[in-house]
Amino acid sequence: MSDNKPSATRRQFLGGAALAAGAAATGKLVHAQAADPLITELQPWQQFLGPGVDAAPYGMPSPFESHVVRRNVPWLTADSVSSVNFTPLHEMEGIITPNGLAFERHHGGVAEIDPADHRLMINGLVDTQMVFTMQDLMRFPRENRTYFLECAANSGMEWRGAQLNGCQFTHGMIHNVVYTGVPLRLLLEEAGVQTNGTWLLAEGADASAMTRSIPMEKCLDDCLVATHMNGERLRPEQGYPLRLVVPGWEGNMWVKWLRRLEVGDQPWHHREETSKYTDLLANGDARRFTWVMDAKSVITNPSPQAPILHGPGPTVLTGVAWSGRGTIPRVDVTLDGGMNWHQARMSGPSFDKSMHRFYFEFDWDGSELLLQSRAHDSTGYVQPTKDQLREIRGENSIYHNNGIQTWLVRENGESENVEVG
Ligand SMILES: Nc1nc2c(c(=O)[nH]1)N[C@H]1C(S)=C(S)[C@@H](COP(=O)(O)O)O[C@H]1N2
Ligand SMILES: [Mo]
């Protein structure tokens, strides 16, 4: 390394490239510093050999990314065994949630199960009761599909007004993962569902023995019994070695550590389903069995945990959108609390019942902004405002809040969770 200082022509080239990219995006120049010592001077990491290939047999993110973690809100639940933490949406790009960042929701902590000791049983109204080992399951044809999982309580704290300061906490009970699994239909066909078998009870092997009733129609449609997430085995937190995937439906039905499937002719009565997983309507009636997650979106940057640090000028806004009923062909964004809407640019794969990524590049004049995003799904449904939802459901709801989120961005680039009337 005799000459590590870039030549004048190379420096001009780098500066020129930066200028061209900035100009293409916004028509304004990004100012590159002429003689930045970080590019003109030899740096320590250029002078020594780094660790070799076996330093981390299972690789981890850069130590400079150590702030990118799941976080919880300690006052939300009494203890961490029956609790929840949140995906750091404001630190992510694309549509896939890395396995180590997928939020967790447990009712009895994480079960630690040796796959050699794990069994899946199918009983009830079937021709043949069956017990599968993990090896048995791996002999069925499997599929790869990308789906979001959203807890029905996501954004639940926001019903009465702006509460939590950051999209991680307001919207982070969601993850989006490529699952590998056996279609549930194939296992049910193997056991032979009897004609009066209209419901399925799914049971987990954890201490909470989480049980959920699912209509047979959904089970035979697109549910998976998943073994892998994002190319590797499920994480213990996500139900290793086996979890039920119920695409587009609320997270509590996606039973983890799946050990038993019982076919019945009516739904089972679950303690939680009647008390907790029920939406109260404004007139006091309960809205039961509302399983599909309606279209929803949130701007992840800028947001309270992700202020604008660069000042006025070219600014990239981004966020995510999803629908339990299909794809997201379109997202609108507003910078002024809904007076003017602009169509955002969708980027990345568009899968059914999966997260979608959107961008909106704009020239920030440095004045206050009221940012909102509004998702349209492939059925034509448009994400409602929080007030529109409250008209139907009142203020005492907890679950299924898919209302439009507002961030107030101040002149200094910091932002906070607000509501506009
Ligand atoms: N066995 C079992 N399955 C479970 C739960 C549980 O506590 N035990 N929690 C449910 C709830 S309420 C949600 S929102 C999702 C959360 O999935 P995650 O931990 O992968 O985020 O799992 C569901 N499946
Ligand atoms: Mo949940």
Q: Which region among 6-20, 160-174, 286-300, 385-399 has the lowest average model confidence (pLDDT)?
A: 6-20
- Nearest protein CA to atom 5 of ligand 1, as residue: 106
- 238 ligand 1 Cβ < 6 A: yes
Confidence bin at 396 (pLDDT 50/70/90) = confident
Confidence bin at 32 (pLDDT 50/70/90) = low
Separation of alpha carbons 262 and 201, rounded Å? 5
Centre of ligand 2 from the C-alpha of residue 253, in Å:
8
- Sign of the Cα pseudo-torsion (371, 377, 379, 380, in order): positive
Phi, psi angle pair for 165, to nearest 5°? -95, 80
Q: How is the chain split into domains, by residue range? A: 10-26+293-418, 100-287
| Shortest-distance atom of ligand 1 to CA 251 | 14
| pLDDT(228) > 50 | yes
Separation of alpha carbons 191 and 123, rounded Å? 8
Choose among 126, 158, 141: nearest CA to 265. 126
- Nearest protein CA to atom 8 of ligand 1, as residue: 210
| pLDDT(276) > 50 | no
Question: What pLDDT score was predicted for residue 199?
Answer: 97
For residue range 352-370, what is the model confidence (pLDDT) as tens digits?
999 999 999 999 999 999 9
Centre of ligand 2 from the C-alpha of residue 101, in Å:
17
Choose among 371, 343, 320, 304: nearest CA to 94. 320
Say if CB 100 and CB 232 are below 8 A apart.
no
Instruction: Decide which of 3.40.50.2300, 3.40.50.12280, 3.90.420.10, 1.20.1440.230 is the CATH code for 100-287.
Output: 3.90.420.10
| Shortest-distance atom of ligand 1 to CA 205 | 1
Ligand nearest to the CA of 152: 2
| pLDDT(30) > 70 | no
Centre of ligand 1 from the C-alpha of residue 374, in Å:
28
Question: What pLDDT score was predicted for residue 134?
Answer: 98
Ligand nearest to the CA of 149: 1
DSSP state of 410: P
Q: Which region among 30-34, 58-62, 249-253 has the lowest average model confidence (pLDDT)?
A: 30-34
Question: What pLDDT score was predicted for residue 282?
Answer: 58
Confidence bin at 261 (pLDDT 50/70/90) = very high
- 107 ligand 1 Cβ < 6 A: yes
280 bridge partner residues = 286
- 176 ligand 1 Cβ < 6 A: no
Say if CB 89 and CB 298 are below 8 A apart.
yes
- Sign of the Cα pseudo-torsion (294, 319, 327, 256, in order): negative
Centre of ligand 1 from the C-alpha of residue 35, in Å:
53
Three-class SS of 112-128: CCCHHHCEEEEEECECC
- Nearest protein CA to atom 16 of ligand 1, as residue: 105
Q: Which region among 58-62, 73-77, 269-273 has the lowest average model confidence (pLDDT)?
A: 269-273
For residue range 170-221, what is the model confidence (pLDDT) as tens digits?
999 999 999 999 999 999 999 999 999 999 999 999 998 889 999 999 999 9
DSSP 3-state assignment of 158?
Answer: helix
User: Which CA distances in Å does 158 have to 2, 68, 212?
Assistant: 59, 24, 26
List CB contacts of 295: < 8 A, sequence separation 6 or more.
321, 322, 323, 324, 325, 328, 375, 376, 377, 381, 382, 383, 402
User: Which CA distances in Å does 331 have to 65, 173, 179, 352, 381?
Assistant: 29, 21, 26, 16, 12
Separation of alpha carbons 266 and 201, rounded Å? 10
Instruction: Decide which of 3.40.50.880, 2.60.40.650, 1.10.730.10, 2.40.50.100 is the CATH code for 10-26+293-418.
Output: 2.60.40.650
- 203 ligand 1 Cβ < 6 A: no
- 179 ligand 1 Cβ < 6 A: no
For residue range 232-259, what is the model confidence (pLDDT) as tens digits?
999 999 999 999 999 999 999 999 999 9
Q: What percent of the chain has pLDDT over 90?
A: 78
List CB contacts of 306: < 8 A, sequence separation 6 or more.
90, 91, 300
- Nearest protein CA to atom 11 of ligand 1, as residue: 252
Separation of alpha carbons 223 and 245, rounded Å? 5
To test ligand 1's pocket by mutation, which of 72, 97, 99, 106 has the most ligand atoms within 8 angstroms of CB? 106
- Nearest protein CA to atom 12 of ligand 1, as residue: 252
Element (H, E) at 149: strand 143-150
| pLDDT(26) > 70 | no
Centre of ligand 2 from the C-alpha of residue 151, in Å:
4
Question: What pLDDT score was predicted for residue 81?
Answer: 72
- Nearest protein CA to atom 19 of ligand 1, as residue: 104
| pLDDT(14) > 60 | no
Ligand nearest to the CA of 85: 1
